[in-house]
Each structure stands twice: as structure tokens, then as C-alpha cells.
Amino acid sequence: MTSRPRALVITAPGINCDGELAQAFGAAGAEPELVLLERLRRTPSLIDRFDLIGLPGGFSYGDDIAAGRIMAVLMRETVYPALAAAIDRGTPMICPCNGFQIAVQAGLLPGAEPGHWPDRAAAPTVALCQNRNARFRDIWTRVEVPEGTRCVWTAGLATDPEADLMPSAHGEGRFETDPATLERLRVGGQIALRYHAHDNFNGSMDAIAGICDPSGRVLGLMPHPERFTRWTQHPWWTRLQAGQMRQEPLGLRMFRQAVQCVMRARDVSRTLTA
């Protein structure tokens, strides 16, 4: 019997979406385990045991100084090399909301080309800034998967503009970068998710809701796919047509796609070593 892939959920004081992230991994067929960042800082090699990684949302360390800043600094100092090595060997990683804010400041996104991750985390080249209206928003919005994205979590997923909404809850989620970096993201297929044209509530550049690294394995996004793994979580699920609920919710499909990516890689490895 094939064992379920192991999913690491990195948690810390102030993180409050770790349980939801673990549930999403479990629903998609993985075996989740919550591990405190302090434990990983003492023993970074623990990361080598896992097939998938999740960096949850919340308010890590109270979001003191800036959203995700303290946790990002702690990760840059200790666990960055182990995380970069895991990504390089094929480990998918998802970073929703505060996880996205942490990942860009920790040098994990937009990331590096496979085989070329630096020994030390690079300076951030993108940012998640204060929302356009300078207010925290808790809202469900329509999202779209761009054609040509290389993200293993979203590539090929068809979206229904009425059924495939995604929940967001943040005050600092406006994606910003310089024009040259934005063009590299577009050309490289690193834009993983966009807000619908009329639902870009935080004012993100190019309506970007999420990006991936050049390998497509690391996904950072401001919406919370882990909060949409059951149709009963949809804000108006009782009014949807039966046909719209025939397939799994978009959030669960994203996690399922990453787990299947890991399983396919296992099958290839077995074939090569047989």
C-alpha cells in the first residue's frame, strides 16, 4: 500500500490558520503535521522528512513592525537553506495570506531558477502593501487562473466565475513590484492566480492574487484556498445549481493537484530505481 505524502505545516505564535491548512492537506490525501518554527530553527533537517510544505495565514508574532516581518527574519536566519533545498528537490509549498507576506520577505518568492537557489535569502523584489482603501477586508471574490501559468497548484484548473470564489481576509495584500519584475513574472508563467477584473478589491498590480516560483512548486497567494474545501463553506452554496457543485471546490482541487504531483513523482522514482 502506498503511504500518504507527509505535509509539514509550519506554525508559530499568532498563526491562526494552521488547523485549516492541515485539514485541507488531509482532505486532499496527505498526512499533515504541525511543527513550531522554533523546533525547525533548532533542527532544520526535520524539513527533509516531508513531501509538501504549508506556511499558514494569521498574524505571526502579532504582525509587529509589519505583516510577517518577524517570522520572515527568523526563517531567513535559520531555515531558509533547508526550505530552498526542499523546493529544489521537488517539494511543493503553499503560502496563503500571512504565509505569502512571510515568503516574499524570507526570499522564497518570487524565488530562483531550479538549481540556482542562493545560499542566503535574496532581498525582496515584490511586496504586499496596505490595501488600496487602507482597511482590513474579509471578502469572497471571483478569481481566475491565467493561461500559461506553470504553478503546480493552479495550472489547468478551469474556474466558474459564479461558483469558484475564494475567501480573503487581510489589510496588507496589495501586490506591488517594479515593471521589469512584473514582466518577468508574466513571461515566466509565474502569475498563478488573478482576481476577476471587477473584484480586485485591494488594488493589486495586474490584479495579481498569487504568484509562484520559476519551478511552479511554491505558491504564494492572498486568498485562502484552505477555507474552501467543502461546498458548505461557499457564501451562497444553497443557491448554486447542482451542476456547479458536481466537481470539488476550487480550494480542494488546488491541494489535490499538488498532492497528485507528489504521487506522480514517487511513481517516476520507483520506475527509475526498479
**Are 175 and 213 within 8 A, CB to CB?**
no
CA distance 254 to 249: 9
Choosing from 97, 151, 212, 261, which is the catalytic residue?
A: 97
Strand order in the sheet with 137-144: 31-36, 6-11, 52-54, 93-96, 218-221, 208-212, 191-195, 137-144, 165-170
Exactly one of 172, 226, 234, 261 is catalytic; which is it? 226
For residue 21, which amino acid is it?
L
**Residue 133: left (phi > 0), alpha (psi -120 to 50), or beta?**
alpha
Nearest of 229, 177, 187 to residue 208 by alpha carbon: 177
Could you report how far apart the first and last alpha carbons of the chain are, in Å? Answer: 17
Q: Find out whether 93 and 117 touch, Cβ atoms under 8 Å.
A: no
> How many other CB atoms sit within 10 Å of the CB of residue 81?
16
Among 95, 224, 234, 261, which one carries the catalytic annotation?
Answer: 224
For residue 199, what is its C-alpha cell?
473584484
State yes or no: is 226 an active-site residue.
yes
Task: Give dist(CA 223, CA 204) in Å, integer.
Answer: 12
Using an 8 Å Cβ cutoff, are 219 and 154 in contact? yes
Which three three-digit cell numbers place residue 111?
Answer: 524565488
Query: CB of 171 within 8 A of CB of 137?
Result: yes
Q: In a 3-state reduction of DSSP, which class is residue 211?
A: strand
Distance CA 206, CA 197 (A): 9
How far is 174 from 182, CA to CA, in rounded Å? 14
For the question of residue 116 being annotated catalytic, the response is no
> Which residues are part of the catalytic machinery?
97, 224, 226
